[in-house]
Amino acid sequence: AQSVTQLDSQVPVFEEAPVELRCNYSSSVSVYLFWYVQYPNQGLQLLLKYLSGSTLVKGINGFEAEFNKSQTSFHLRKPSVHISDTAEYFCAVSDLSRQAGTALIFGKGTTLSVSS
């Protein structure tokens, strides 16, 4: 079965610094990959997704992610973070081998804390 590993549970950074949130998934079979963000006391919001095509995917709020099939990774990056980027970030994969293949399997989340 698919699994998703977010390598860092917490990432503290200073404002305007670059950030990378790391995500690895377990299988090399065809998958769709997603990053979601959750602000305090809210539901999840899609940042970006990879279905096919270019391995570099651009999302909202200046975030981008790169799909690396050989390393089964989908790391999220932003060149310069703002205080408002403080939130929890979830990497997710759509396991196409499952009956419930349209459901997403989520990682445990990475808390990004941006300070001034």
Partner 1 sequence: DVKVTQSSRYLVKRTGEKVFLECVQDMDHENMFWYRQDPGLGLRLIYFSYDVKMKEKGDIPEGYSVSREKKERFSLILESASTNQTSMYLCASSLRGSGNTIYFGEGSWLTVV
Exactly one of 12, 16, 17, 46 binds partner 1 (CB under 8 A); which one?
Answer: 46
Specify whether the CB–CB gap between 24 and 71 falls below 8 A. yes
Residue with token string 């089964």 = 72
- Residue 107, interface with partner 1 (CB under 8 A)? yes
- Residue 100, interface with partner 1 (CB under 8 A)? yes
Q: How far apart are CA 24 and CA 107, in angstroms?
A: 9
Q: How far apart are CA 77 and CA 111, in angstroms?
A: 14
Q: How far apart are CA 87 and CA 4, in angstroms?
A: 19
Stretch that binds partner 1, among 17-25, 59-67, 76-84, 88-96 (CB under 8 A): 88-96
- Residue 108, interface with partner 1 (CB under 8 A)? yes
Residues of the shown chain interacting with partner 1 in the complex, contacts defined by CB under 8 A = 6, 9, 32, 36, 41-46, 49, 51, 90, 92, 94, 96, 99-109
